[in-house]
Amino acid sequence: MLNCIVARLNLDLGGLTMKALYENHRQQLASIMEIGDMAILFSGKAPKSTADAHYSFLPNKNFFYFTGCTQEHFVLAMVKSEKGLESTLFIEKPDYDIEKWVGRKLTKDAALELSGITDVQYVDGFVSWIARQVYNGKITRLYLDLEKMNWDELDSPASQFAGDFSKRYPFVNMKSLHFILCELRVLKSDEELDQIKRAIDLTKIGIEGILNTLKPNVYEYQLEATFEYHIKMNGAERCSFETIAASGEDGVILHYVENSKPLKDGDLVLLDLGAQYKQYAADISRTFPVNGKFTERQKQIYNIVLKAQQDVIDAMKPGIPFEELNKVCQKSLADSLISIGLIKDFSELSKYYYHGVSHYLGLDVHDIGSRNGLLKEGMVLTVEPGLYIAEESIGIRIEDDVLITETGNVVLSSHIPKSVEEIERLMA
């Protein structure tokens, strides 16, 4: 089935409103479903922190992909019948007493306007609605978003519902929607690309703010705060992930997020950051000299990373295996490190480069999609080679966001400076 999906996605999406885009996403799924299939997605809920406090709510991105809604406790049900796709959106019922404390709920009219779904009901009637659908013979197969990366992950709302549903209706076949969603979401429409590009532009503004702050004795957390201030002042919803501002010896830690120490004169600071705009993410890495000037050694290693990034970008086009990108990166880095005498052969590279060079980007920073297939037009990927030389306190990563086009690629973040000369000129 999945081999047929991409062929069904070759639709002209230009000029759609966002509401029409969500409808188009639902129709793409409908073209894959069979009569009697139902797909259910949950927006999720914020987990409790402690006492009466909860963590900030982040909507399930698959739910958002089909609805445009970002509220808690919503449910989307889509049934394929002889008439076509019948979508029902279940929302929380407005309650004035609760709204006085936590804010207004989305009304039925507002939910319709946002999602384009005409059948909007209240979520407290969801389970009885499901029971009627099964009883009336409308469901022969149920699709749920049952993504689970690790064995010991907490059950998602979809997993919890799957357990309850299977006990009550063991005769209804159940399948995971995750693999279909991977194929759908990995190809971006023009409208989605507009949101990603705006997120990248906001990230550039944030980086420019950092460069105006960056100097010895400034704290890493001040760079983080500066970035968040600038992107939010210009329209970002939030950071797309927790900002990494790793200076000196901590630049070799891939996911360093403490951001707690002062910057030292002569060190590098590795920044891995991104803005989120209308739920779409940017993911950019840059490495800057704290005092505005690279040492000769820092410059040498930096340019090796930069060359590896360009070698990977030059290889990116439709038909290239995803896994080939990291092989290109590894060869480039190894050849360069051998030439300067840091390593003797390829087998030693993993001491200084120990992650992949690319991942998909979209609604999620590490967007869903198979990494075993070929690159296709419409994919957006990061390219992020790095070198981490612990004994020299040098950690360098350079990351850009790249769109695969019909004949090659476009670097969507090419306007964010990254050459040694550009960086030193900007910091002068």
Identity of the amino acid at 261: K
Q: Indicate the DSSP class of residue 57.
A: P
Q: What is the mean pLDDT of the chain?
A: 94
β-bridge pairing 119-122 and 75-81: unpaired
Q: How far apart are CA 67 and CA 75, in angstroms?
A: 10
| 388 tagged catalytic | yes
Q: What is the mean pLDDT of residues 198-225?
A: 98
Name every residue whose Cβ is closer than 8 Å to that of residue 45 and which is 6 or more positions away in sequence: 57, 72, 73, 157
Q: CB–CB of 62/97 below 8 Å?
A: no
| 360 tagged catalytic | no
Partnered with residue 269 across adjacent β-strands are 247, 288
Q: Provide the token pair at 360.
A: 């998909």
Q: CB–CB of 181/145 below 8 Å?
A: yes
pTM of the model: 0.94
Percent above pLDDT 90 for the chain: 88
Query: Does the pLDDT of residue 4 top 70, yes or no?
Result: no
| 272 tagged catalytic | yes
Q: What is the pLDDT of residues 381-415, one digit of tens each?
A: 999 999 999 999 999 999 999 999 999 999 999 99
Phi, psi of 107 (to 5 degrees): -80, 170
Q: What is the mean pLDDT of residues 46-75?
A: 93
| Catalytic one of 72, 192, 397, 400 | 397
| Catalytic one of 37, 191, 272, 364 | 272
Q: How far apart are CA 146 and CA 355, in angstroms?
A: 27
- Order of strands, sheet of 280-281, starting from the edge strand that comes earlier in the sequence: 238-239, 275-277, 280-281
| 355 tagged catalytic | yes
| 152 tagged catalytic | no
| 164 tagged catalytic | no
Q: How far apart are CA 89 and CA 74, in angstroms?
A: 7
Distances in Å between the Cα of 105 and the Cα atoms of 69, 359, 407 are: 12, 36, 46
| Catalytic one of 25, 230, 286, 359 | 359
Confidence bin at 218 (pLDDT 50/70/90)? very high
| 359 tagged catalytic | yes
| Catalytic one of 34, 52, 97, 296 | 52
Query: Does the pLDDT of residue 174 top 60, yes or no?
Result: yes
Q: CB–CB of 49/43 below 8 Å?
A: no
Query: Does the pLDDT of residue 3 top 50, yes or no?
Result: no
Q: What is the pLDDT of residues 11-48, one digit of tens each?
A: 334 446 889 999 999 999 999 999 999 999 999 999 88
Burial class (CB in 10 A: 0-12, 13-18, 19+), 307: middle
CATH of 190-427, one of 3.40.50.2300, 1.20.1600.10, 3.90.230.10, 3.30.450.20: 3.90.230.10
Q: CB–CB of 92/105 below 8 Å?
A: yes
| Catalytic one of 191, 201, 364, 384 | 384
| 52 tagged catalytic | yes
Partnered with residue 76 across adjacent β-strands are 41, 89
Which pLDDT value is given to residue 250? 98
Q: How far apart are CA 30 and CA 187, in angstroms?
A: 17
Q: 2-185 — its CATH code?
A: 3.40.350.10
| 73 tagged catalytic | no
Query: Does the pLDDT of residue 351 top 50, yes or no?
Result: yes
Q: What is the pLDDT of residues 67-105, one digit of tens each?
A: 999 999 999 999 999 999 999 999 999 888 888 787 888
Q: How far apart are CA 374 and CA 353, in angstroms?
A: 24
Q: CB–CB of 385/357 below 8 Å?
A: yes
Q: What is the pLDDT of residues 275-329, one digit of tens each?
A: 999 999 999 999 999 999 999 999 999 999 999 999 999 999 999 999 999 999 9
Which pLDDT value is given to residue 153? 85
Query: Does the pLDDT of residue 7 top 60, yes or no?
Result: no
Instruction: Please choose, from the candidates 122, 87, 130, the residue with its C-alpha nearest in 3D space to the C-alpha of residue 105.
Output: 122
| Catalytic one of 8, 178, 238, 355 | 355
- What is the distance between the terminal CA atoms of the chain, rounded to a whole angstrom? 56
| Residue ranges per structural domain of the chain | 2-185, 190-427
Confidence bin at 10 (pLDDT 50/70/90)? very low
